[in-house]
Structure 1
Amino acid sequence: MSGIGSTGADGLNRDGDLALSEQRGLAAWLPRRLAEERASIVVVGDFMLDGWWSGSIDRMCREAPAPVVDIQRRDFAPGGAANTAMNLAALGASVSVAGVVGTDDAGVELRRQLAAAGVDTILLYEHPDLVTTTKIRISSGGQVLLRFDDSTATVPPDALATLATAVPAAVKHRDAVVICDYGMGILDGKVRTRLIESLAGRSQDTLVVVDAHDPRPWARLGPDLVTPNAQEAAKLLDVRLGNGPERAATVVRHGGRLLQETGANAVVVTLDRDGTVLIPATGNTHRTWARPATEKQASGAGDTFVAALTLARAASLPLTASLDLAQAAADVVVHHPGTSVCGTDELSRYLESFADTALSADELERHIRAHRGDGQRVVLTNGCFDVLHRGHTRYLNQAKQLGDILVVALNSDDSVRRLKGPGRPINSVADRAAVIAALSCVDYVTVFDTPTPIPLIEQLRPEIYAKGGDYTPEMLAETEAVETYGGRVIILDYVPERSTTAMVQRIRNGEGAPIPEA
C-alpha cells in the first residue's frame, strides 16, 4: 500500500489523528490527496450492465390490465463489479478489471463505457455463448414499475478456464484486489481456487476486499475486509436483523460469528439508511450514519462505498477514517438518479459543503422540535474539538448511539481562549465546525459563548446530555439543569492517552506520533 496515512507530513499520523496543518481545508484536501496516490487496483468478478428506461403512461394494455409505457429515454451504466471499477476510476485509482462478458450489444456497451472512464479492460474477456448480465428498470414519473434481468444460466467452462489462467497476472503487484462475487457463477470453481492460491502469499502491501452475496466461500483467503449488506449478513448469521436502528446492535452482538464465518480481519456491514457497522478482529467497533435522500431512484451506492473504502485503505488511511470517507461518497450517489459514480471533485465539494454549517440556537430549536415530533431522542454534547483525534471520534460515535440525533455544541473562539489560554484555539470555530459536521455521526453543530452550555441546555432540553472525561454527574454544573426537566446525564469513556493539549505540544515541538511500547 502507499502511505497517505503513515506520516504526519501527509496530514494524518499512524493513529488517524488529523494533523494541525490539514484541519483547515481538509474537505478539499483529502479526496484529491487520495487521487494523487494513483493506487493500482484490480476488480475481479461479476460484470453487468444497468439499464434505466423511462417514459410516459397514457393508456392501458388491451391484452391485460397493465399500463403501457411509451419509452422516451434509454440510459445505460456499468453495474455490479463494473460500477465498483467506475467509482474507483472516478476517485483517481489506476483500475483494471478481470471477468467475462458476452459479445452481445450489452457486452460491447459495457466495455465501451469502462474504457471511456480509463479502466483497463484487457482481462475482461468476451465469450460468444455468454449473455452479458443486464438489469433494466422501467419507470414513469420517477417511479420504477418493473425490472427485468437477463443473464446466462450456466457460464461456459472454457470461459472460466480462460479467466482462471489470467488470475495470477491480474492480481500481481497490486495495491488492492476487490472481489465482487454476486453468485453468478463467474467466480466459482477454478477461478476462486486460483484467486485464493494467488493471494495466499500476498505481501502486507496488498489489500484484499471481498464484496460477496455469500462471503463464506472466501474465508480461506483471509481477506482484509468483507462488506456484506444487511440482508447478506442476516442470511450468513441465520438471524433476523429487522428494519430499524436496532439492526446495528444485532450486528455488533454477532460480530464474533461474522469474523469467524468470513475469515476476515474486519467486517463492514452496510445498513443502507442506517449507515454501516465495523467489526474489527482487534480494536473497537465503529459506526457511520447515512444522510439518505428521499424518493430518489438510485442504485449502486454500495458499490461506491466499497470503492471509496478500498481506495482509502489502499492509501493507508486509518480504517475508521476510511469508513467515514466511504460513507460520504455513498451519500453523494444516493442523491443521484439511476446508477452513478462519485468522483474526486464531487466528493470534495460535498465535504466542503459542511463548512459554515453551525446553526444558531433558535434555528437548532426548530429542527429539534421537528425531530421530537417524529419520536426521535436528542443527544447534546459540547467541547472545544480544536484538533480532532481518535479519542474525539470514538467519543462522538458513542454519544450518537445514546439516541437518534446528535448535536455538538462548540465553544466559541473567545470561550476556548478563556479555557485554554491565548495560544488556543489552533483552528477557528468555522474550521472546527466544518470538520465536526463532516463526521457521519454528527447531525447538527452549534456554537456557544457562555461559561457553560447551561443556557443552551435549558433552551434545547435534550433528552440526554453526554460528557466525556474523568467526570461524574455530580461534578458537572450542567447536571442540575438537565435533571430539572427530566433529562439524563451520561458520562462516556475517558481516553487518557488522547489529549489535544499533548498533541498540540508534540506538533509545536516538531515531534511525530509516539512509538507504542513493545
Structure 2
Amino acid sequence: MSAAKASGASAGPGGAGDLSSQRALSGGLPRRLAAESPAILVIGDVMLDGWWSGTIERLCREAPAPVVDVTSREFAPGGAANTAMNLAALGARVSVAGIIGTDDAGATLRRKLEAAGIDLKHLHSHPDMVTTTKIRISSGGQVMLRIDDSATAVPAAALAALASSVRAAVGHQDAVLVCDYGTGVLAGPVRAALGEALRVAETGVGSVADRPLTVVDAHDPRPWAGLRPDLVTPNAQETARLLDLRLAEGNGRVETVTGHRDALLSSTGARAVVVTLDRDGTVLFAADGTTHRTWARPAAEKQASGAGDTFVAALTLARSAGLPLTASLDLAQAAADVVVHQPGTSVCSTAQLARHLESFADTALSADELVLQVSAHRAHGQRIVLTNGCFDVLHSGHTRYLNQAKQLGDVLVVALNSDDSVRRLKGPGRPINPGADRAAVIAALSCVDYVTIFDTPTASPLIRQIQPDIYAKGGDYTPEMLAETDAVEEYGGRVVILDYVAERSTTAVVQRIRDGAVANPGS
C-alpha cells in the first residue's frame, strides 16, 4: 500500500480501515505488516549504546566509590539507529541517514546496522566527528553509572553531505521518520533539505498528496512544524516543555495534556500528536477531533532502554502499511510492552510481537476466577468498571467506547456474549468470529484488563456476582431501558451511558464485507 493512501483520510479513524481492523490486534497482523515491507527512511541522531556489567566487592582507594570489575561488554545501536533496528526487525525495508565518526564506535555501529540488513548509503562518516556513545555500567542488575561521549560540534562538511544525501534519500519512500535528539546532526541545512525533499516550504505552505508519511520523534518538535508532519510523538518531559508547564504524576498528566490538545497540535504543526506517558500509556490527539488512549502493561524496574524507539517504529510501520491510526497506536503499545520486559537496548521482532498478541488467546476468565481478581483490585481501592456486548467485528465505535469506559475507573472488565447468546440476539449468521477469537482481540486492547464470557439472557447475574462500581453501556440507551440497571442499583452501583456512535455498526460493517463494498471515509 502506498504511503499516500496510508497517510490519507481513507486510512484514518473511521475510514476504510474499519474493515481491515476487525482483527487489528490478532497475532497474524505483525506478519501481514511485515509482508507489506514498507520502505522507511530513518534520519537523525544515530548512537551506540554500551551495556557493561560486573561485580562490586570493594571501594577504590582514591575516593569512596565502588569498583566495578567488568565481566561482560555488550553494544547495541541506540537512538535513531535503535529505531531503525526495530523497523528492520518488524519487516520494513530501512534506510538510515545520519553522521558518525571514523572511530571504533562508528565502525561497531556500522557493522551492527549492516548485519540487520539496513541500507547505509546515506550514513556519513567524518574523521572530525565523534560517534555518540552511551555506556551504562551496572552490577547486580542495577545501573550504577552512564558515560556519554559525543561531539561538541558537527563538522559543516558532514552536515552539507547529509543535506545533499537527504534530497536523494526521500524519493520512493513510504515513510520518513525523523529522530532528533538535539545533538546538532539535524541542524538547519539538513532540516531545510528535508523540507525541500518533501515539497513543503519552511512557511508550511504547499505540499503534494503523494508525499511519504512523515513522523517526527524529537526532543523539541517545534522546529519541525514547517514540515507539517503526519505524526509527532513527544514524551511527557518534551510535552511539558512544549506547553511550558509541569505535568503531575499519574492520570493527572492525561487530564492536563488533554486540556492543551489544541496548543500541542498548533505548536507542532502536526495532523496528529501522540503523547507518550511511559507507565501511563499514550494519548492521541488528531486534527480531525479523534482522541484515543492506550494503557501500558509495565514491567518491574529492569535494565531496559529504548521502548520509545520501539513504539515509534511500530507506529510508523503500521501507518505506512495502511493500518488505521487508532489500531496502529494499540499495536505500537503492544510492541513497547514487549521491549520493557527485555534487558538492555533491545528490539521487538515480528515473531515476538505475534507471540505477544497470540498470548491473549484463551484469556477469558470464568466468573469465579474474575471474582477473585476483582476482589484483589478492590482491596487496593481500585474502581471496577464492567461493560458487555457481542463485539463480533471490532470497529472504531467499539474502541472509542471501550476507551471511554476505561477512563471511568481503574480496572475494565469486558463481558462477551457467548456464541449461542449472539445467535439468539443477532440471528443464525452470527457471530462472524467465535468467542475465543473475540475474547483474544478484545483482551489485546490496552484499555481492557479482563475478559469473561456469559451465556445468560442479560448480564445481570454476572453483575450481581462481580458488583462493579460502574456498569457502562454504549449505544442509544437510557438507564431505564437496560435490563441490568436493577441489578446494578441493588448494591449501590452506578450506570453510565457512553457516547452513541450512530455511524458505526457491526451489522453495517458485516453487510459491507458480504457485499464486497469498500467503505468511504467517514461511512
TM-score (norm 1): 0.95
Deviation at 1:19, TM superposition (A): 5.1
Residue identity opposite 1:255 in structure 2: R
Aligned-partner residue type, residue 232 of structure 1: E
What is aligned with 1:111?
110
Match of 2:122 in 1: 123
Instruction: Check whether the contact 2:232–2:272 (CA below 8 A) recurs between aligned residues.
Output: yes
Give the stretch that moved more between structures: 81-90 or 468-477: 468-477
Shift of residue 385 of structure 1?
Answer: 0.6
The offset of 1:480, in angstroms, is 2.1
Alpha-carbon distance between aligned partners in 2 of 1:465 and 1:290, rounded to the nearest angstrom:
23
Alpha-carbon separation, structure 2, partners of 1:516 and 1:89: 33
Output the amino acid matched with 1:305.
Answer: F
Q: In the TM superposition, what are the counterparts of 1:500-511 in structure 2 within 5 Å?
A: 500-511=506-517
Contact persistence 1:15–1:390 (CA under 8 A): no
2:83 is matched with which residue? 84
After superposition, residues 393-472 of structure 1 pair within 5 angstroms as: 393-472=399-478
Q: Does 1:320 align with 2:306?
A: no
2:197 aligns to what? 198
- Conserved? CA contact 1:359–1:445, under 8 Å: yes
Distance, in Å, in 2 between the alignment partners of 1:234 and 1:374 is: 30
In the alignment, which residue of structure 2 is the partner of 1:266? 272
Letter in 2 for 1:219: A
Whole-angstrom distance in 1 between the partners of 2:170 and 2:275: 25
* 1:30 equivalent in structure 2: 29
Preserved CA contact (<8 Å) 1:16 1:390: no
Alignment of 1:384 with 2:390, yes or no, is yes
- The offset of 1:486, in angstroms, is 2.1
Q: How far apart, CA to CA, are the structure 1 residues paired with 2:442 and 2:522?
A: 27
| AA aligned opposite 2:178 | I
Alpha-carbon separation, structure 2, partners of 1:373 and 1:13? 39
Deviations 1:325-348 (A, max 9, x none): 111111111110011011111111
Inter-CA distance 471–198: structure 2 relative to 1 (3 Å threshold):
same
Q: CA RMSD in A?
A: 2.0
Q: Distance in 2 between matches of 1:2 and 1:355?
A: 32
For 1:417, what is the secondary structure of its paired residue? Answer: helix
CA contact (8 A) 1:313 1:319 kept: yes
Corresponding residue for residue 70 of structure 2: 71
Retained in 1: the 8 A contact 2:395–2:504? yes
| 1:154 aligned residue | 153
AA in 2 matched with 1:370: A
CA gap of 1:264–1:514, structure 2 versus 1, over 3 A, is closer
Does residue 371 (structure 1) correspond to residue 377 (structure 2)? The answer is yes
Determine the C-alpha separation between the residues in 1 that align with 2:183 and 2:107. Answer: 19
Q: Which amino acid aligns with 1:53?
A: W
Pairwise CA distance, 1:514: 4.9
Q: Which residue in 2 is equivalent to 1:16?
A: 17
Q: Structure 1 CA distance, aligned partners of 2:208 and 2:102?
A: 34
- 1:415 is matched by which residue type in structure 2? S
Q: Which runs of 5+ in 1 are unaligned?
A: none
Secondary structure at 1:27's aligned position in 2?
Answer: coil
Report the counterpart of residue 257 of structure 1 in structure 2: 263
In 2, are the aligned partners of 1:463 and 1:488 still within 8 Å (CA)?
yes
Partner deviation per Cα, 1:132-160 (whole Å, 9 max, x = no partner)? 11111111111111111111111111111
Q: Deviations over 1:220-255 (max 9, x none)?
A: 111111110010001110111111012112111100
Contact 1:224 1:264 survives alignment (8 Å): yes
Counterpart CA distance in 2 for 1:370 and 1:65 is: 45
Q: 1:305 aligns with which of 297, 300, 311?
A: 311
Q: 1:65-92 CA deviation, whole Å, 9 max, x = no partner?
A: 2211111011111000000100111111
Q: Which amino acid aligns with 1:214?
A: D
Distance in 1, Cα, partners of 2:522 & 2:277: 34
Give the whole-Å Cα distance in 2 for the aligned partners of 1:396 and 1:164: 45
How far has the Cα of 1:420 moved from its partner?
1.6
Q: Is the 8 A contact 1:98 1:125 kept in 2?
A: yes
Q: Is the 8 A contact 1:17 1:389 kept in 2?
A: yes
Contact 1:52 1:136 in 2 (8 A): yes
For the residue of structure 2 that corresponds to 1:112, the secondary structure is helix
**C-alpha contact 1:379 1:466 (8 A) present in aligned 2:** yes
Q: Which residues of 2 match residues 191-340 of structure 1 at below 5 A? A: 191-199=190-198, 200=200, 201-340=207-346
Q: Deviations over 1:450-477 (max 9, x none)?
A: 1111121112111111001111112222
Contact 2:14–2:522, Cα closer than 8 Å, also in 1: no
The corresponding residue for 2:98 is 99
Query: CA 1:157 to 1:205, structure 2 compared with 1: closer, same or farther past 3 Å?
Result: closer
AA at the equivalent of 1:17: D
- Aligned pairs for 1:158-177 within 5 A: 158-177=157-176
Measure, in 2, the Cα distance between the counterparts of 1:189 and 1:13. Answer: 38
Aligned counterparts of 1:74 and 1:268: Cα–Cα separation in 2: 35
Corresponding residue for residue 2 of structure 1: 2
Structure with higher RCO (Cα < 8 A, 6+ apart): 2
1:513: which partner in 2?
519
8 Å Cα contact 1:13-1:513 kept in structure 2: no
From 495, 498, 502, the equivalent of 1:496 is 502
Residue 204 of structure 1 and its aligned partner are, at CA, apart by: 2.9
Q: Which runs of 5+ in 2 are unaligned?
A: 201-206
CA contact (8 A) 1:5 1:16 kept: no
Counterpart of 2:338 in 1: which secondary structure? helix
Quick one: structure 1 residues 202 and 508, their matched pair in 2 at CA, closer, same or farther if it must change by over 3 Å?
Answer: closer
Structure 1 residue 374: Cα displacement: 2.6
Distance 1:385 1:249 in 2: 28
Indicate conservation of the 8 Å contact 2:27/2:356, yes or no: no
Q: Does the residue aligned with 1:108 lie in a helix, a strand or coil? A: helix
Quickly say closer, same or farther: Cα 1:431–1:18, change in 2 above 3 A. farther
Q: What amino acid is the match of 2:145? A: L
Residue identity in the other structure for 1:93: A
CA distance in 1, matches of 2:522, 2:62: 74
**C-alpha distance in 1 between matches for 2:372 and 2:2:** 46
**CA deviation after TM superposition for structure 1 residue 304, in Å:** 0.6
CA distance in 1, matches of 2:119, 2:165: 14
Change (3 A) 1:74 1:425: same
CA displacement 1:420-479 (0-9 Å, x = unmatched): 222221211101101111111111101111111112111211111100111111222222
In 2 relative to 1, CA 215–13 (structure 1 residues): closer, same or farther, beyond 3 Å? Answer: closer
Alpha-carbon contact 2:6-2:320 (below 8 Å) kept: no
Q: Normalising by the residue count of structure 2, what TM-score does the alignment of the two structures yield?
A: 0.94
> Which letter maps to 1:136?
I
Query: How much has 1:282 moved relative to structure 2?
Result: 0.6
Q: Deviations over 1:103-131 (max 9, x none)?
A: 11111111110000000111111111111
- 2:46 partner amino acid: F
Q: Which amino acid aligns with 1:193?
A: A
Retained in 2: the 8 A contact 1:360–1:446? yes
